[in-house]
Structure 1
């Protein structure tokens, strides 16, 4: 009998752990972002559901190519809660990514989302790096129609290795996944991280650090 109680307690503990680890279930049909409030919460305040309309759940323009005339040769077009207020509390979003020939989506992380990417046009080299201490690179070349997953929080990247433009669509498991581009965060912070810290971290000459910081 005691063993049955122990098994029941263990099952309850596992159930509670799983519940704590996941996003809470919605308590209503939807929670359209109220753009007229200045109240700060973890997400956005809901507007009166009686005032919801079709445009709260709608976005147009994802067919338009992004301008890739920039140093990295890519452009991300987001469709998150800022673009579709009705995504608030629903835990999903997506992006379109355009790549110029040999353009990259530089190494970055999404602190709040796993990403699943589908190639619509072109050939992409993609990869992510596992956490310390292994820092193992998991890499693959994707063709049109291929799908790849980047686990939440891990550093990942994409590169167009074709001679034409490439396009991908990515779904993310958060209404606001966030993005931390590694180079921008490390070398372009405001105020700057002390060059002495970066010299030791990257084991390079101080002039190299100052030169890279000047580019951001």
Structure 2
């Protein structure tokens, strides 16, 4: 009984602290840190901090992949700071693709708004999970795993994605290999790709080395 009585003040203190910290709107004038942005003073918080309109319009398609990803991370949407979630809009033209990539800091939920998207991921046992996701359907990508999205059929597609982090991070496999200064001999050694093919891909994506 005594240990329980001892915990009551601690629980009350924790509850009181939580009620005073309903949100922490990011102060984007300060520097980001591993624990996130500091909070904007509560007196300066307004309703506009909790709405973001940047996903209402299509993004500009990147010619190489015929796709656009428009983020609503903490840097664009300060109201999500400390809440453990963020979002993005995905626009895919016909044949558009978001190449193999991973988000080290978050799982991802894909919600298809229009069209069909073939989506999939590879797990740590090298099992592959692929599905064609239709309008109104959802697909989930576990945190840190390589995954992709491709417009299915002859039309484009639009989707929204939700992340389990305010800043999920991003590493695109092709760009890491072929848009960087990663030396060609080492890429060949570690991937078993032909050096001439690597040089060709570096020429397309702007890499060196």
Which category describes the TM-score, using the shorter chain as reference length?
0.7 to 0.9
Of 74, 81, 85, which aligns to 1:81? 74
Q: Which residue of 2 aligns with 1:162?
A: 153
Q: Which residue of 2 aligns with 1:212?
A: 201
Note the C-alpha offset of 1:41. 4.7
User: 2-side partners of 1:38 and 1:145: how far apart?
Assistant: 38
User: 1-side partners of 2:151 and 2:74: how far apart?
Assistant: 28
1:67 aligns with 2:56: no
Q: Which residue of 2 aligns with 1:93?
A: 86
Q: Which residue of 1 aligns with 2:144?
A: 153
Q: 1:146 to 1:43 in 2, by over 3 A?
A: same
**Residues 121 and 147 in structure 2, CA contact (< 8 A), matched pair in contact too:** yes
Of 127, 133, 137, which aligns to 1:142? 133
Aligned residue pairs: how many? 188
What is the TM-score when the length of structure 2 is the normalising length? Answer: 0.84
**Residues 54 and 72 in structure 2, CA contact (< 8 A), matched pair in contact too:** no
Question: Unaligned regions of 5+ residues in structure 2, if any?
Answer: 1-17
Note the C-alpha offset of 1:36. 2.2
User: 1-side partners of 2:146 and 2:32: how far apart?
Assistant: 33
What is the TM-score when the length of structure 1 is the normalising length? Answer: 0.82
**Residues 26 and 89 in structure 1, CA contact (< 8 A), matched pair in contact too:** no
User: 2-side partners of 1:156 and 1:123: how far apart?
Assistant: 16
**Residues 31 and 37 in structure 2, CA contact (< 8 A), matched pair in contact too:** no
Note the C-alpha offset of 1:168. 0.6
**Residues 75 and 98 in structure 1, CA contact (< 8 A), matched pair in contact too:** yes
1:194 aligns with 2:187: no
User: 1-side partners of 2:72 and 2:30: how far apart?
Assistant: 21
Which secondary structure does the structure 2 equivalent of 1:215 belong to? Answer: helix
Runs of 4+ in 1 over 3 A off after TM superposition: 38-41
Q: 1:141 to 1:26 in 2, by over 3 A?
A: farther
User: 1-side partners of 2:76 and 2:161: how far apart?
Assistant: 16
